[in-house]
Chain A
Amino acid sequence: MSSNADFRLRSHPILPIEDRPTVSFRFNGEPLQAFEGEVISSALFARGIRVFGHHASDDAPQGMFCANGQCSQCLVVADGVPVKGCMVPVREGMDIRSCEGIPELALSESLPEFTDIRTLNVPVLIVGGGPSGLTAAAELGALGIRTLLIDDKFELGGKLTLQTHSFFGSRGDCYAGTRGIDIATILADEVAGHESVEVWLGATAVGIYHDKKIGVMRGDEYTLVEPEVIIVAAGAREKGLAFPGCDLPGVYGAGAFQTLVNRDRIRASDKLFIVGGGNVGLIAAYHALQAGIEVVGLVEALPAVGGYKVHQDKIKRLGVPVWTSHTVVRAEGGETVERVTIAAVDEKFNPIPGTHRTFEIDTLLIAVGLSPVNELLIKARDYGIKAFAAGDSQEIAEASAAIFSGRIVGREVARELGHDVEIPDEWRTTAEVLRSKPGETLPVESVEPEGESFPIFRCSQEIPCNPCIEVCPLKHIEIPDGSIMGLPEYVGDDCIKCGKCVLVCPGLAVAIVIKDDPEKKKASIMLPWELPLGDLQEGSMVETVDDDGNEVGQGAIKKIKLGKYADRRYLITVEVPFEHRMKVAGFRPHPVAEPCAVDEGEAQDGDPVVCRCSRVRKSGIVGEIRAGVRDMNQLKASVRSGMGACGGNTCTELILRIFREEGVDPSEVTLPSERPLETEVPLSAFAGVKNRKKK
């Protein structure tokens, strides 16, 4: 793509777009600009550069994959040194080259000066400054316990910093109704208020050793940390999916996408497709829409999405097709992904012939689940370090659960260290509730409430959430059984149309119906809106839709209001025919056409890449399994899977799945042995070489 291309977001309904100082750099000789402090990969994406190099073994194009420092797909050569593009900020004058094949070692170096590696003793080390790490740190800080909190990013909050949507749960326990990005700030501020907590940003735990020390890279500096207790709050990693073309640049995880768009404000795609209907995939679709990115569709292999129904409804109302019982069959393209083919699946998840459809896209997100990042935890326990897990490292759940459970872990650790602090029983009950998977979807009664105005709750699935009952000034919203898992009901007849429930509902599932037309020809519906307004204004005609996104009819915008409780959410009142009053759940500024399938072709047999680092294809692994191999360590030998930069973090689950497909019980399979390092580290760091980046 041309270097004149600009893929930066110019506006965003939720996120501020700030002017930032720039630095100059070169990519393959071409002069370019980046924001100061911006990582290399994002600076390149902002110019439409999505291929960062080519693999040594087969010249396959390499690009962004995890955007999280875990893999090495984004390797580039910066000032002669191979670095991960997603982790290293661009510096003024940097000469960046694409990594073509194996990088060369610049032999002209002179002998540097060495310094000793410091060992730091701390009572508590927390690895990960996401929701649970922060609340654990806050609890420890409140007790004055000396704690070191490290996070590999340059901002606290973990994945919260990428979440532009409002959170579920209850307001008191986990800031429900507040946007993830704002919760990150609240929690980081709380931690900053405690003197006994030291925070290291840009700091990665790279290895844990038998002598009970943890190697931490902070910038260029390597330190050995020797804690009495370690809390692993390192979050989750995204599961992969092996299908033909899955290795093309442009096919990557939802987390990477959110990093590009919501952290670095890059319009990473124009035409996006999503695989996976869990909350991660559904939310990624919503985030894309907020950034003005077209979402061509979303597939989910199961008969229903696994994420919250309200998240699904939100994107369906905005016109995103959600195909359940469908899977991705292949991705195709030249240097980057250009097409995706999907198909319906039978009950064994095999594609059904004749149901294939191909769409033109430029980005394919894989959001098929998360697995805990807990390698440090397991090793710490093996080595006899007192180790606790919090958040997703403990159990995959919503961030709201992580926020709350981190507090419990913080206090458990305090008790372990001899502090007399109570952990109320109700905390554990709340933590349990917040961890709940979505419950049943119940039929919603369509009895029209009394009164001229009333709220409608399109909240039919039991999820832990209750801000609506807390904000109603008349206290006329109730959850009958009192549990936050229950469904809200309107119990009044005198709604004052304040709109607070519409504005607070994290699921955007509340509408207020106003029947103020004496002739009963029209009704007004008060709806939430947090996408770019575009050309929407009072008087605009819109297409109204029901809960599932089906067209109901036409509506006219009467009022657009950004009230004081709004938090970047508009309250838009749409006038609709009176008979549509109970049906209209949302609207679309423009009618949305069903995406057009470009090719009805059947999938050819393809041999997907399973291990991306070593470019190992599925057929090779299947051959070994059929030859009797049951030890993943032996696969390292025979096909070289799991030998690369990511340490098998990406392919181990995929290979286990292939074992299962081949009829091998996973209990018969020996997993690869875990060894330091968690991520690749320059040798200079271990020798305490200073100023190695000065040029």
Chain B
Amino acid sequence: MAYDVVVIGAGSVGNPAGMFLAQRGMKVLVIDEHAAPGQGQNKAAIGGVRATHSDPAKIMFGLRSLEHFSSFHDTYGLDIGWKKGGYCFPAFDDKIEGVLKGLLGTQHQYGLDIDWHGPETIREAVPGINEHNLRGGTFSPGDGQVSPLMYADACWKVALNNGAHYRFNETVTGITVQSGRVTKVTTNRGEYPTAAVLNAAGAGASRVGALTSLDIPVQPDSHEAGISAPIRPFLDPLVVDLRPGPEGKTANFYFGQNNEGQIIFCYTPKELFVGENTESTSEFLPVISRRLIDLIPAFQHLLVRRVWRGLYPMTPDGVPVVDRVEEIEGMYLGVGMCGQGFMIGPGVAECLANLIVEGEPTIPPDVFAELSFQRDFYAAKAEALK
């Protein structure tokens, strides 16, 4: 059977791409080396979904993804653990207060519902917060949380219902290009003729790129995360504390309470762990526990249930690649999500589906151009909110 599109990777981007493409009548096959959808780095996401970014493309994809997540249950009747609790970035010093306030202009320009609030409001939003030096913070009520596991499963089910095919436990070993056109995908278990290929291989994107001699500058680094036993709901927003930690290990940290009452937490390491290792280290819990308890002392009684480590498929400039490949007709890229694949995944996937089916992206050309595969990845550009 010949496909219109073969999607490589059933993760944050590939899984919803399979769904959107199938919904638009494409014959689509999604291939993943794992045994089920979302079992690569997708499920390692902590599930915070926000449009609160500083980069216009991410804001737009974030907003579109939020629309998709928040209406998913009503549209498809499947629970994805959606919780609309907003995002809160508290500030404890001038510098972070300045950064957060400075972003509000761009954020408002692209339609984000976000404002600066004084310490009383932040105290209400984050009960039990250690108020020492609390200056206030931003709150964006439209952001929220989704269970990455539940979404991956639900999305797969909707995709199947729309006629998408999935092949699991299969590794792509070759992509055939004839006369400058994609014609076939080969795996360790089969061959699939196709008119188009979407590389949505996450942390493995550059390996898949190499199959057609494309140099895709995606290099994973890793972040650890953990989850507690459930406690009665008390915390609405996902909280991001942008302060680097006094221990010298954390650049910032964040946590939230999911729709089942569990606290999910993570920190951004000051020195990145580059590589594909996803086994937990002994350093994570001693470091994150102090930060969490320091911010909300009552967290000392949380029971920690599980920890894990996931990969951020990074591009050199921290901006994803969402594009078609000029030199190979039918080759599309949705890679380098830089750790935000889950929260912007549906927006990215929908844009790619539109690009494949209609030849046009869903976002304005100037914004889309930022995501180009042809861009200079090494041009200095500091993203304020990563």
Q: Which residues of A contact B (CB under 8 A)?
A: 56, 72, 80-82, 101-112, 114, 117, 207, 209-211, 213, 215, 222, 224, 382-383, 627, 629-631, 633-634, 636-638, 645, 647, 670, 675-677, 680-689, 692
Contact = CB atoms under 8 A, between A and B. Distances in A.
A248 B228 CA distance: 26
A297 to B, nearest CB: 38
6 contacts: A105-B231, A106-B301, A110-B297, A630-B36, A631-B168, A680-B229
A80 B231 CA distance: 12
Contacts of B285: 215, 686
Contact of B286 (A110, A627, A688): A688
A210 B228 CA distance: 21
Contacts of B157: 627
B301 A109 contact: yes
Nearest to B235: A105
Given A103-B232, A645-B229, A210 B280 contact: yes
Interface string B141-159: 0000001011011000100
Contact of A682 (B231, B234, B302): B302
A677 B35 contact: no
A681 B227 CA distance: 11
Contacts of A104: 231-232, 234
B261 interface: yes
- Main SS of the interface on chain A? loop
A210 B304 contact: no
B37 interface: yes
A207 B307 contact: yes
A633 B234 contact: no
B345 to A, nearest CB: 15
A589 B294 CA distance: 66
B257 to A, nearest CB: 10
B281 A637 contact: no
Given A677-B306, A682-B303, A683-B302, 10 more contacts: A56-B230, A106-B298, A111-B297, A211-B283, A631-B168, A633-B35, A677-B305, A686-B285, A686-B288, A686-B304
Contact of A634 (B36, B231, B279, B305): B36
B153 A634 contact: yes
Contact of A670 (B35, B231, B232, B299): B35
A108 B298 contact: yes
A630 B298 contact: no
A112 B298 CA distance: 10
Contacts of B374: none
Given A210-B279, A683-B304, A631 B36 contact: yes
Contact of A210 (B152, B281, B299): B281
Contacts of A110: 297
A638 B36 CA distance: 11
Contacts of A224: 282
A638 B281 contact: no
Most chain B CB neighbours (cut-off 10 Å) among A108, A224, A636, A687: A687
B281 A683 contact: no
B12 interface: no
B204 interface: no
A633 B10 CA distance: 14
A654 to B, nearest CB: 19
Given A102-B230, A645-B229, A687-B293, A634 B35 contact: yes
A137 B308 CA distance: 33
Contact of A636 (B149, B229, B281, B292): B149
Nearest to B261: A102
A110 B168 CA distance: 50
B176 interface: no
Given A107-B128, A210-B281, A684-B293, A637 B150 contact: yes
